Chain A
Amino acid sequence: MASHATPDTSKYYVPDPSYYPFALTFGLALIVISVWGLLEQKNTTWTVYAGVPVALWIIYRWFRKVSHESEGGFYGAQVDRTFRWGMTFFIFSEVMFFGAFFGALFYARQLSVPWLGGEGAKLSTNLFLWPGFEAHWPTNGPAGIGGDFNTIPEWGIPFLNTVLLVTSSFTVTWAHHALKESKRTACLAWMVVTVLLGATFLYFQAYEYHEAYTDPSVNLTLGSGIYGSTFFMLTGFHGMHVTLGTLMLIIITLRLAFGHFKPEQHFGFEGVAWYWHFVDVVWIGLFTFVYVL
């Protein structure tokens, strides 16, 4: 039946029943139970050893399945549009997720810290509760939570990282062009460059964190008041997204190496590229508002 004929793409492809979603959720739930044990000192931390393999295995299977379906020609033009819309809205939701943390940053800088310093209608706040505190940024608050700290000089590693990420956005675009022009070797080469740029970014980011935590002259931690909170939350979640993006870049690079993707249809590739651009744009926002201004 279907196995021998070319799939009929005039019909919208509805996948077969699949246990992946259920199993994936099961894996995630095990991980959550483990994290709960970690945070609340309960002896359930071991469940991570069951949860992670289950989740990784299912993710692997699921990706493999999608790539087989794609390469097998099951996805017609309409399915392709579905993926485009779907990815667009997924990225939009991610933007809103970062929006919450940017919102916290702006709120702290524009409202709460000035209020604590007695600006606006909150003079009494300063007089009665935090006498002597003057609003400034960066700050760890009127109680100096986390002790004195210094910020990371923006024109050092952060600027370098900006250059790396922006460049990688270009290289992934060049790879895309190469793919569309059927220059697979060039495409693969640009992809490898992109992955390396992403990995280098992550290395520097990790290095910066290490310095921030271990260098007593910096002493910047998650606990350094509102500055440390917003700094690590924003860069941390961004870093996680870069990690995810790099993994996805590696996956599509491997798929390219296996000969996947056609010059005219390769949404798997494009979706990852979009995601990568998104990560890049978020970084530019971070660089501007967290490091420079």
Chain B
Amino acid sequence: MLTKHVWSRLVALAALLASGAAAAATYDPGQVWNMPVGVTELSREVFKLHMVIFWVCVVIAIVVFGAMFYSVFAHRRSRHPKPADFHESTSIEILWTVIPFAILVVMAIPAAGTLIRMEDMRGAELSIKVTGFQWKWQYEYVDKGVSFYSTLHADSNHARQLHSGIDPNTIPNYLLEVDNRLVVPTGTKVRFLITANDVIHAWWVPDLAVKKDAIPGYVNEMWATVDEPGIYRGVCAELCGRDHGFMPIVVEAVDPPAFEQWLADRKSGKATAIGHGPAPVLVASAGASAAAPSPQPAAPATEVAAAPAPATPAAAADGGKVYNAQCAACHQPGGQGMPPSFPALVGSKVVNGPAEAHIQHTLKGKNLMPPFAHLSDADIAAALTYERTSWGHKAGAVTAEQVKAQRGK
């Protein structure tokens, strides 16, 4: 299976190398060869700056390398047997000090302008607190009473396990999809208050030209005004440990009324929706091009509103689902873990021991394991029950009441 893949890849590459056109045919070139232009005023400015400095470098390169290769060609010994003997010229040396300096000054001015505009946080209409965790994001709509976690979508999560046997090519938006998307209103200056809980992360959405480090104990601010409704994908951009590559960001921009509606729905469904929920309905339709915004127009409000998980106990009680979404990244779907950093649950003393200790371990975390207190009592109970009854374990079920009793202890 694997080797077959390698070969098909090689063949594909040979094709790619053979004709540059092959590349253009496969994907939207703008999305794989260059920075996205993005959907905010600032992202367009940044893109422009990027292209200007790029072309400045290209022009200088043509001049400099042109001279060099001309010399390589024309001043070879076979063509130019007697070397000249000059070795300094003050005027030309001054010239090539001053000209680059002037170019840099000209570059620096617009760059400074853009930077100053980016750092201007005034007039934000909505604040969202973004907290990085190992390895998920928490979004809190400040003063709106809505907050939830956002983790890698289960499909990607299964496929990305070592030797998963699942071909990533079959997963839509592989590694770029989450369970709960961040929803923002268009045309609104949204301020992001970025921080972290454990180690440093960085919240990056290329289409918004926002990248800010999430520093534990400090809050960094950044803002964006999204012009176009759509789905914008990003990633954690600061090494944060084992699953740094697996904590994507998906921002869904919808028009303000749709946003208000979504917010209201989210709020009413809050009790159980926080934590995890089935993937939003939009997932599958989000288009195949990875970094690209969704080609479809923004989702109508009703469709988005369908996203929150229904508050039925049945959904919460599906321990296997919770386990696979929350625990399997480290402890593996089969519970074998990845010793030594991530211990096996199969036969584990904690899992087969008293329920209280098991719950405490889950709520508080230990060593590399982060706390999971943000999950609902029912979810934790379900996941622990799953652990305690799977893989031949007979430790017995855990109830939501037991979890509740352990909180705050």
Residues of A at under 8 Å CB distance from B?
115-116, 121-122, 124-125, 128-130
Contact with A along B194-225 (1 / 0, CB 8 A): 01000000000000000000000111010000
Bound form: Cα–Cα A128–B119 in Å: 20
Interface of chain A, helix or strand or loop or mixed? helix
When distances are taken between beta carbons in the complex, the residues of chain B under 8 Å from A128 are: 129, 193, 195, 219
Cα separation A121 to B129 with both chains bound (whole Å): 16
B195 touches A121 (CB 8 A): no
Which B positions have Cβ atoms within 8 angstroms of A? 119, 121, 129, 193, 195, 217-219, 221
State in angstroms the CA–CA spacing of A56 and B121 once bound together: 61
Query: Nearest-CB distance from A107 to chain B (Å)?
Result: 13
Is A129 within 8 A of B218, CB to CB? Answer: yes
Q: Name the CB-closest residue of B to A130.
A: B217
B178 to chain A, nearest CB (A): 23
CA distance A122 to B195 in the complex (A): 12
* B193 contacts across to A, CB distance below 8 A: 124, 128
Write the nearest CB–CB distance from B200 to chain A, whole angstroms: 15
Contacts A/B (CB < 8 Å), 11 sampled: A116-B218, A121-B221, A122-B219, A124-B219, A125-B219, A128-B195, A128-B219, A129-B195, A129-B217, A129-B219, A130-B217
Residues of B within 8 A of A125 (CB): 195, 217-219
- In the assembly, what is the distance between CA of A116 and CA of B216, in Å? 12
Task: Write out the residue numbers on chain A whose beta carbons fall within 8 Å of the beta carbon of B129.
Answer: 128
Cβ–Cβ contact B221 & A115, under 8 A: no
Smallest CB separation, A124 vs chain B (Å) = 4
Contacts of A116 in B (CB 8 A): 217-218
- Nearest residue, chain A, Cβ from B217: A129
A-side contacts of B218, CB under 8 Å: 115-116, 122, 125, 129
Interchain CA distance A115-B219 in the complex, whole Å: 10
In the complex, which residue of chain A has the Cβ closest to the Cβ of B194?
A: A124
Give the Cβ gap from A116 to chain B, nearest Cβ, in Å. Answer: 8
Contacts of A122 in B (CB 8 A): 218-219
Q: Report the Cα distance A125→B218, complex, angstroms.
A: 5
**In the complex, given contacts A124-B219, A128-B219, what are 9 additional A-B residue pairs having Cβ atoms less than 8 angstroms apart?**
A116-B217, A121-B221, A122-B219, A125-B217, A128-B193, A128-B195, A129-B195, A129-B218, A129-B219
CA distance A124 to B221 in the complex (A): 8
**Bound CA–CA A122/B119 (angstroms):** 12
A115's nearest neighbour on chain B, judged by CB, is B218
Give bound CA distance, A128 to B221, whole Å. Answer: 12
Query: In the docked arrangement, what's the CA distance between A176 and B218, Å?
Result: 53
B286 to chain A, nearest CB (A): 32
> B119's closest neighbor in chain A, by CB?
A121
List the A side residues contacting B219 at CB < 8 Å: 122, 124-125, 128-129
Once bound together, how far apart are the Cα atoms of A128 and B191, in whole Å? 14
Max chain A C-beta neighbours (<10 A), residue from B193, B218, B221: B218
- Shortest distance in angstroms between B201's beta carbon and chain A's nearest beta carbon? 15
Give A1 to B218 CA distance when docked, in angstroms.
71
Docked complex Cα distance between A122 and B219 (Å): 7
Cβ distance A121 to chain B, nearest Cβ, rounded Å:
7
* Neighbouring A residues of B217 by C-beta, 8 Å: 116, 125, 129-130
Most buried by B among A115, A121, A125: A125
A183→B255 CA distance, assembly (Å): 92
CB nearest neighbor in A for B215: A125
CB distance from A100 to the nearest CB of B (A): 20
Tell me the minimal C-beta distance from B144 to chain A in angstroms: 15
Q: Say how far B249's CB is from chain A's closest CB, in angstroms.
A: 20
Expressed in whole angstroms, the minimum distance between the Cβ of A120 and any Cβ of chain B is: 11
Nearest-CB distance from B139 to chain A (Å)?
A: 14
Using Cβ atoms and an 8 Å threshold, which residues of chain B touch A129?
Answer: 195, 217-219
Closest CB in chain A relative to B18 CB, distance in Å? 53
A195 to B164, CA, bound (A): 69
Q: Which residue of A lies closest to B221 (CB)?
A: A124
Q: Which A-B residue pairs are the 6 nearest by beta carbons? A: A124-B219, A125-B219, A125-B218, A124-B193, A128-B219, A124-B221
User: Smallest CB-CB separation from A121: which chain B residue?
Assistant: B221
Q: How far is the CA of A124 from the CA of B191 in the complex (A)?
A: 11
In the assembled complex, the CB of B258 is this many whole angstroms from the nearest CB of chain A, namely 28
- Shortest beta-carbon distance from B55 to chain A in Å: 33
- What's the minimum C-beta distance from B142 to chain A, rounded to whole angstroms? 8
Q: Which of chain B's residues have a CB closer than 8 A to the CB of A121?
A: 119, 121, 221
CA distance A122 to B215 in the complex (A): 12
In the complex, what residue of chain A is closest to B127 when comparing beta carbons?
Answer: A124
Chain A residues contacting B195 (CB-CB under 8 Å) are 125, 128-129
Q: How far is the CA of A51 from the CA of B299 in the complex (A)?
A: 70
Chain B residues closer than 8 Å to A130, beta-carbon distance: 217
Cα-based distance from A128 to B129 in the complex (angstroms): 9
A155 to chain B, nearest CB (A): 35
Q: Given the complex of chains A and B, what is the CA–CA distance between A124 and B119 in angstroms?
A: 15
**Nearest-CB distance from A128 to chain B (Å)?**
5
Query: In the assembled complex, how far is the CB of residue B197 from the closest CB belonging to chain A, in whole angstroms?
Result: 10
Shortest Cβ gap from B148 to chain A (Å): 17
User: Roughly how many angstroms separate A130 CA and B218 CA in the complex, as a whole number?
Assistant: 9
Question: How far does the Cβ of B328 sit from chain A's closest Cβ, in whole Å?
Answer: 30
Task: Select from chain A the residue with minimum beta-carbon distance to B191.
Answer: A124
CB distance from A228 to the nearest CB of B (A): 18
Q: Which of B193, B195, B217 has the most CB of A within 10 A?
A: B217
**What residues of chain A lie closer than 8 Å to B121, measured between beta carbons?**
121
User: CA A125 – CA B221 in complex, angstroms?
Assistant: 9
A140 to chain B, nearest CB (A): 14
Q: In the bound complex, how far is the Cα of B221 from the Cα of A101, in angstroms?
A: 29
Complex CA gap A184/B195 in Å reads 66
Nearest CB in chain A: distance from B199 CB, A: 16
Closest to B140 in A: A128
B351 to nearest A CB, angstroms? Answer: 25
The distance in angstroms between the C-alpha atoms of A124 and B195, with both chains bound, is: 10
CA A124 – CA B121 in complex, angstroms?
12
Closest B residue to A112 by beta carbon equals B218
A119 CB, min distance to chain B CBs, angstroms? 12
Report the Cα distance A116→B193, complex, angstroms.
Answer: 15
Interchain CA distance A121-B193 in the complex, whole Å: 12
Q: How far is A236 from B144 in the complex, measured between Cα atoms in Å?
A: 50
